C-alpha cells in the first residue's frame, strides 16, 4: 500500500512541477480536437454549435433562411418560440434544428444542432451553417450600401 501512494505522490509532483507544459498540452489538445480559430463559434459539451450576433432576431432569421437556401438545405418548419424562432431542416440524412433566441432588441443567439441518426452529431455542418449565416449578414450591408446612391440620386432629381 505504501508503494502505491508513492507512485501517486510522484505523479502529482510531476504534474504540479510541469504546470506550464500541462497548459501547453491542453491548448494543443483543444486545437487538435477541432477548435476553430476566427469563426467565433462555441460548442456545448454535446457538440451543439452556437454564436451570438449583434442583429435583431428578425434579421438573423432572414439571413438563416437565405443561407439554408444557398446551401441547398431543405427547411421543414419555421415556427415561433417563446424567445424567437425554431427552424427545422434536413440535408443528406441529417436533421438540423436551429434555435434563434432574442437576447435584446439588437442581439440574438443562434444555436444549431445537426444530428445524423440517433446519436451522432455533425459538428462540422452545424458550424458551417453558423459561419455561412454570419457571411450572409456581412454581405447584406454591402447590398444596402450599393442601393443607397441610386436612391439618393433619385431623390435629388
Question: Residue 8's Cα: distance from chain center in Å?
Answer: 40
Q: How confident is the model at residue 143 (pLDDT cuts 50, 70, 90)?
A: low
pLDDT of residue 46: 72
- pTM given for the model: 0.66
Higher-pLDDT residue of 16 and 120 is 120
Residue 154 lies in a domain: no
**pLDDT, position 141:** 66
93 located within any domain:
yes
Is residue 153 predicted with pLDDT exceeding 60? no
User: Residue 19: which domain range?
Assistant: 1-35
Number of domains the chain contains? 2
pLDDT digits (tens, 9 = 90+) for 83-95: 999 999 999 989 9
User: Residue 81: which CATH number?
Assistant: 3.30.160.110
**Integer Cα distance of 157 and 28 in angstroms:** 62
Residues 31 and 42 in one domain: no
Asked if residue 140 is part of any domain, the answer here is yes
Cell numbers that stand for 43 in this block: 460548442
Q: In terms of domains, do 50 and 64 share one?
A: yes
Q: What percent of the chain clears pLDDT 70, i.e. is strictly above it?
A: 64
46 SS3 class: coil
Same domain, 74 and 128: yes
Amino acid at each position: 500500500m505504501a508503494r502505491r501512494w508513492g507512485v501517486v505522490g510522484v505523479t502529482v509532483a510531476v504534474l504540479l512541477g510541469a504546470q506550464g507544459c500541462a497548459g501547453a498540452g491542453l491548448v494543443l489538445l483543444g486545437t487538435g480536437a477541432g477548435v476553430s480559430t476566427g469563426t467565433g463559434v462555441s460548442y456545448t459539451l454535446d457538440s451543439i454549435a452556437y454564436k451570438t450576433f449583434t442583429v435583431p432576431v428578425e434579421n438573423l432569421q432572414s439571413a438563416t433562411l437565405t443561407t439554408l437556401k444557398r446551401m441547398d438545405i431543405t427547411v421543414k418548419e419555421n415556427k415561433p418560440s417563446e424567445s424567437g424562432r425554431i427552424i427545422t431542416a434536413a440535408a443528406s440524412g441529417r436533421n438540423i434544428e436551429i434555435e434563434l433566441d432574442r437576447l435584446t432588441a439588437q442581439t440574438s443567439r443562434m444555436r444549431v444542432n445537426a444530428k445524423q441518426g440517433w446519436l451522432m452529431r455533425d459538428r462540422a455542418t452545424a458550424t458551417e451553417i453558423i459561419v455561412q449565416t454570419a457571411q450572409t449578414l456581412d454581405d447584406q450591408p454591402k447590398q444596402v450600401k450599393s442601393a443607397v446612391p441610386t436612391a439618393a440620386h433619385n431623390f435629388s432629381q
